[in-house]
Amino acid sequence: MAVAARRVTDVLQPRNVLLAGMPAVGALAAGHWTGLLWGLLGALCAGIVPAAYIEWERGRGRWGDRHVVDRTQRAPIFLVILGSIGTGSLLMVAGGAPVGILTAMLALWVMTVGLLAVNTVWKISVDSAVASSVVTLLACVDSAWWLTAYALTAAVCWSRVALRYHTPAQTLAGAALGAATSLAYLVG
């Protein structure tokens, strides 16, 4: 069971979920293939840059792995994510990106603020939040059929609990936060 949980958590880590999901969100929101490029920029800023920062800190010996299980060490990661999403959003505004992808970036930024706030007192699951957020964004921009991908969010939640990185409550709270902030897309 631990091997399967490790594979699920590695394959469906936030960087990978964002790299797969944000280009789709961008293309669907724009209604044109150029949205794919904006989505790739979103994935770079929301997923790749933060993952690279974590790897850089690991190389310096600050963290043992990408999971950063000690919640007291997570604040710098959230600040990098906020700065990176903010920078990406400014580039999108300057480049005339479609409103839909900008709204998705805002949803991810607000989710990160929520994760940072909760993390000051309790260890919430970032992996679950990101998986839930991307599924919800896809459902909002395209079709409720995307909600079937919540099976992947459930798998992320299961893997995080199975690996003892989180409690069930921490994964469910993360998934709820990701969905709630992304549902704001419908208002935007």
pLDDT tens, 93-102?
Answer: 999 999 999 9
Residues contacting residue 184 through CB under 8 Å, at least 6 positions apart: 106, 107, 110
Domain count, the chain: 1
Contacts of 44 by beta carbon, 8 Å cutoff, 6+ apart: 88
User: What pLDDT, on the 0 to 100 scale, is given for residue 188?
Assistant: 62
**CA 6 to chain centroid:** 18
Average pLDDT (1-22) is 96
The two tokens of residue 55 are 């790897």
- 187 pLDDT band, cuts 50/70/90, is confident
**Looking at residue 67, what is its pLDDT?**
79
CA atoms of 134 and 174, how far apart (whole Å): 13
For 133-165, write each residue's pLDDT tens digit: 999 999 999 999 999 999 999 999 999 999 999
Which of the pair, 150 or 184, is modelled with greater confidence?
Answer: 150
pLDDT one-digit tens code per residue, 34-87: 999 999 999 999 999 999 999 999 999 887 777 787 888 899 999 999 999 999
Chain-wide mean pLDDT for the chain? 94
| Confidence (pLDDT) at 10 | 95
**Exposure of 28 in the CB half-sphere (CA atoms within 13 A):** 16
Domain that residue 98 falls in: 2-186
Span 118-134, pLDDT tens digits: 999 999 999 999 999 99
Mean pLDDT of 13-19: 97
Q: CA–CA distance from 71 to each of 57, 121, 176 (Å)?
A: 15, 9, 19
Closest of 172, 9, 28, 13 to residue 99, by C-alpha = 28
Kindly give the residue spans of alpha helices, DSSP state H, lying in the chain. 2-11, 14-30, 34-43, 49-59, 75-95, 99-119, 126-141, 150-162, 168-183
